[in-house]
Structure 1
Amino acid sequence: MKEIPKKNGFTTPPGYFEGLSERVLNKLEEKDTSALPSKEGFKIPEGYFDGLEEKIQDKTLQRETKVFTLKPFRPFLYAAAAIAVLVVLIIGLEKNNTSTPTFDDLAQAEITQYIESRDLELSSYELAEVLPVSELEIGDFMESSVDQDEILDYLEDSIDDLDELNIETHEEYQ
């Protein structure tokens, strides 16, 4: 915002207000008093204040107002709206229920999350009976695939005799 200047544009001569009242009174005495009106400029009609209080109270007191009735209660509008909502709901539910979900529609992550969230206390043998093992591969259980060379390297480092494992070794792995 713009700052207000401290210097004002209006000035008075020095000593202007000293003895101002005396100067005004002297000028009034010098001038002709006939120039001033002898009566006041405002006139009030006679009897104006007689009964004024009653008139004000009459105007300020509340009168009985007319009561207008609004449109009468229409229950058939509410019934029609309720029927329309029911029709829309029935059509919407029938449209969404066209197919029933099957076990194949479930994602593997949803099944895993369900089993983990419920403490079913199933053993690995019980789970093997329920889950279709014929379709599973080793990559489904492991998060990252392990190369066969890495497995053989691990086995060579951790086991003294590879013959104990009964693994057929091929020439390409040696």
Structure 2
Amino acid sequence: MNNKNKHPFKTPEGYFDSFQDKLMAKLSDDHVAIPKDNAFKVPDNYFENFNEKLTEKLSEETKVIPLFPIKKVIAIAASVAAIALVFFGYQWNNVEDVNFSDLANTDIEAYFENTEFDLTSYEIAEVLPFTDTEYSNMLSQPIDNENILDYLSDNINDFEELNLQENE
């Protein structure tokens, strides 16, 4: 079972002792199978035109295929830049203008109620134009004399505060 140290090829004993003598004897024989003429043939005028053919082949530029294609990299970079430009351009210009008509009436009323302007009702009335509006359009209920008397009786304790005079 010790096959690792054994060689499968064997030569007869004394084979290499006389090898050189046997080789020299075969080479000195005249009937050796080695031909004396040139076995390789060259076409006629091959070496006369060799320089011209060689310079033609060397002058032809062969196309070099780059390992790192620059055109593909430029195309990828341009597409990434275009996508980034569209994305950021869309995000920055997405601000909508807020108009006065977009505000709810309740928001406007809450703003005026919660903000102190230091303006009296007389100053506000001086600024607002009432030429085209009618007072009846501002009121939800028509003003009757009965409504006025009810309001005055509920809110005023002393009628002398009203300072009503018929001359005014």
Pairwise TM-score range, normalised by the shorter structure:
0.3 to 0.5
Q: Normalising to structure 2: TM-score of the pair?
A: 0.32
**Greater relative contact order (CA < 8 Å, ≥ 6 in sequence):** 1
Larger Rg over CA atoms: 2
Q: Normalising to structure 1: TM-score of the pair?
A: 0.31
